[in-house]
Amino acid sequence: MSIPVFEAALSQCPLIAILRGIEPDEALAAGQALYEAGFRLIEVPLNSPSPLDSIRLLRDGLPTDCVVGAGTVMSAQACTDVAAAGGQIVVMPHSDPEVIRAARSAGMACCPGVATPTEAFAALAAGANVLKMFPAEQLGVPVLKAWRAVMPGTIRLVPVGGITPQNMAPFVAAGASGFGLGSALYKPGKSAADIGRDARAFIQAYAQARGA
């Protein structure tokens, strides 16, 4: 994948939809609801049922300006598998440099999970495109604010974990570049209509937090 496609998606809507637990036969309808609401980044965690099938269905069924990939990626081999399924981004709960390099070598963007400045800078050195602050509910707004005091403004910090439309604003004020959205946006069995409704609520809350 051309990294500019990922950058364009992130610029248009820096909210990553996390479809943990989704079944392949539900994936495209969920993806279409998210896209119509304005999302342009979707991940299917690899601990979901048949995740590579869902990734392929999403990639083949959604417009090319929507970036599709995998979450909970734990190994270099998994990066190869995700790329073969049409994945364009790898999201990780950790910051193993081998996995980051494998994702980038396969032509995918990479968003590793980091919980300390040391991990953050090491992940960037390995080729990370975006840093996932995880778990956000444990790190909190004060940590994000402290990181922003010492990190260049060009580094994208994306809190993930426990994010809701109601708690986005303090993170945005502290310097969040976007968010990864899990159970408050999608839970297994949730209808496409409800996904779309909640996706629009997140987009509206993010716009309000940014003063847009």
The catalytic residue positions are: 43, 132
Distance CA 90, CA 51 (A): 13
- Which residue, chain included where needed, has tokens 């999201």? 91
Assign 3-class secondary structure to 128-187. Answer: CCCEEECCHHHHHHHHHHHHHHHCCCCCCEEEECCCCCCCHHHHHHHCCCCEEECCCCCC
What is the enclosing helix (H) or strand (E) of 15? strand 15-18
Please list the helix, strand and coil fractions of the chain in percent, rounded to the nearest 5, in that order: 50, 15, 35
71 DSSP 8-state letter: E
Q: Give the largest CA-CA distance in the chain.
A: 45
